[in-house]
Amino acid sequence: MTIRRNLFRNGGNLLAATETIRMSTLSLLLAMVVSAIIMAICRYNPFEAFGAIFTGAFGNSRAISQTLVHATPLMFTGLAFTIAKKASLINIGVEGQMYMGAIATAWIGALDFGLPAVLHLPLAILFGAVAGALLAGLVGFLKVRFGSNEVISTIVLNTIAINITGYLANYPLKADGPTAQTNRILPTAELPRLFQGYQLTAAFFIAIAVCAIIYLVMNKSLLGYEIRCVGYNRLAAQTAGIPIGRVMVVTMLISGAVAGLAGAMLVLGVDKRFIVGFSPGYGYNGISVAALAADNPIGVVFAGLIFGALNAGSMVLNRTTRIPTDFINVIQAFVIIFVSAPLLVKDILPFHKLRRKHDK
C-alpha cells in the first residue's frame, strides 16, 4: 500500500511503467500457455517443445550466443517500428528498408577502396542506414505531400525493394557461382567475432546502444518531444506551431535508418554478403517485438532478447523433435493479440483480478 502511494506521488509514471511491464510479461506467459494448449491438441508434447526451445536458447554458451545473434536484427527492426509509432506512423516497410540497407552495405563492403577497417566498416554501416532511411523517407514524403497512407505505400515498397535488391544481387552485383548473392565483403568491412567459434559480434552491443540513444532522443530531446506531440495529437501539435509534415518525414528517416542498420549488421556480422531472401521476416517480426515492448525503446532490448531466444530455440526444436517450428510463429501471434488486448488478459487471469481487488 505505501509503495503504491509512493508510486502515485511520482506522478503515476512509475506505476504506469510497472503496470506495462506486468502486462507484457502476462501477455507473454499467456501466449506460451495458449500455444502449449494448441500443441497438446495437435498431439505434440508442449513440455518437450518448450524444453527443446529452452535448451536451444540458454542450454550452453553457444546457445546463449545464438540467442544474442538472433536478438540483434529483431532489436533493430522492433526499434524501427517503435520509432515510427511514436509519431503515430505505422511503418510496415521495415522489411524492405532492411533489404535496401543490406544491399547498400554489401556493395560498399565488397568494394576495395584500400581503406583501413576503422573507415571501411563505419562507411559500410553508414550506407546501410542511409539506404534504409531514403526508402522510409520517401514514404514519409508521399504521406505528407500527397496524403498517401503509409501502411499501403510501405507494403507496396516492400515488394519493390525486395525485387530491386534481388535484381541487383542477380545481375550487376552478382558474385561468381550458382547462388544469387553478392561478393563476399572485404575483411576490412567485417564485424569481428567477439569470441573464437561464436557467431556473436559487436552488432549486438551496437543494437543496445542504438536503443538507448533512441530512448534518450525520444524522451529528452526537442525532436523527440515534437515527434511525440505529433504522434499523440496532430491538431494540438499544429496549433503549437510544430511543423507536422517535417517531423513525420524526419521520423520516417530515423525509423528507416534503424531498419537499414538491421540489414547492415546482418551482412557485416552474419552473412558477410547480401543473399537473396536472407530475411525470414525480421522486418515483420519487429512488429511483434515492438508490441511486446509496448513501444518503449528500452523495452525493445528485452523483447528482442525474448524473441531472439525463441528463434534460437526453434533451431533445436527443429533438429531434435518433430514438432514444427511454426509454433514459434503461433507464440508470436498470440503475443501480439494479448498485448493489443490488455482487457482480455485482465479478464482471462483470475489471480490478476483478485490482486486488483486486494489493492483497493
Partner 1 sequence: MRVVEMHDIVKDYPLTRALDHVDFALDSGSIHSLLGENGAGKSTLMKILYGMCTPDQGHIQIKGQSERITNPRQAINLGIGMVHQHFMLAPVMTVAENIVVGSEPDTGLLFDSRKAALVVDQLIARYGFCIKANERVSNLSVGEQQRVEILKALYHGAEILILDEPTAVLTPQEVEELFVIMRELRKAGKSIILITHKLKETLAIADTLSVLRDGRMITSGLSIEGVSADDLARMMVGRDVDLEMTNRSKTIGPISLQVRGLTLKGKEKNILSDLSFDLHRNEILGIAGIEGNGQSELIEVLTGLAKAEAIVFQHEGTTLSGDAHDFIQLKIGHVPEDRSTRGLIKEMTVEENLMLGYHRSPRFNRRGFFRPSAVRDFAQRMIKDYTIKTGSSRQRCGSLSGGNQQKVVIARVFSEDPDLIIVAQPTRGVDIGAMHYIHERLFELRDQGKAILLVSADLDEVRRLSDRIAVMYDGRIVSISKPGEYTETQLGLMMTGSSVEGCKDDNQA
Residue 343 within binding range of partner 1, rule CB under 8 A: no
Q: Which is nearer to partner 1, 13 or 179 (CB)?
A: 13
Considering only CA atoms, give the Rg of the chain: 21
What is the DSSP-derived secondary structure letter of residue 193? B
Q: Is 275 helix (H, G, I), strand (E, B) or coil?
A: strand
Query: Can you tell me the distance from the alpha carbon of 64 to that of 50, in angstroms, rounded to the nearest whole number?
Result: 16
Of 302, 299, 258, whose CA–CA distance to 282 is shortest?
258
Question: Does residue 84 contact residue 91 with C-beta atoms inside 8 Å?
Answer: yes
Contact window for partner 1 (CB under 8 A) among 6-14, 37-45, 54-62, 154-162? 6-14
Stretch that binds partner 1, among 5-13, 25-33, 146-154, 203-211 (CB under 8 A): 5-13
Which among 117-125, 156-164, 227-235, 247-255 is the span making contact with partner 1, rule CB under 8 A?
Answer: 227-235
| Residue selected from 17, 111, 194, 242 as contacting partner 1 according to rule CB under 8 A | 242
Reading the block at residue 241, the C-alpha cell is 506551431
Question: Could you give the CA distance from residue 160 to residue 156 in angstroms, rounded to a whole number?
Answer: 6
- 322 vs 357, beta carbon nearer partner 1: 357
Plot region of 88 (φ>0 → left; ψ -120 to 50 → alpha; else → beta): left
The only residue of 32, 34, 117, 243 in contact with partner 1, by rule CB under 8 A: 243
- Rule CB under 8 A: say whether 246 interacts with partner 1: no
Q: Residue 2 and residue 14: Cα distance in Å, rounded?
A: 14
The answer to the question of residue 141 lying near partner 1 (CB under 8 A) is no
Smaller CB distance to partner 1: residue 155 or 244? 244
Q: Does 213 bind partner 1 (CB under 8 A)?
A: no
Q: Which residue has the cell 528482442?
A: 304
Among 19, 225, 270, 333, binds partner 1 (CB under 8 A): 225
Interacting stretch for partner 1, rule CB under 8 A, among 11-19, 44-52, 76-84, 317-325?
Answer: 11-19
Considering the complex, state which of residue 119 and residue 216 has its C-beta at the smaller distance from partner 1: 216
Site of grid cell 506486468: 22
Q: Is residue 235 part of the contact set for partner 1 (CB under 8 A)?
A: yes
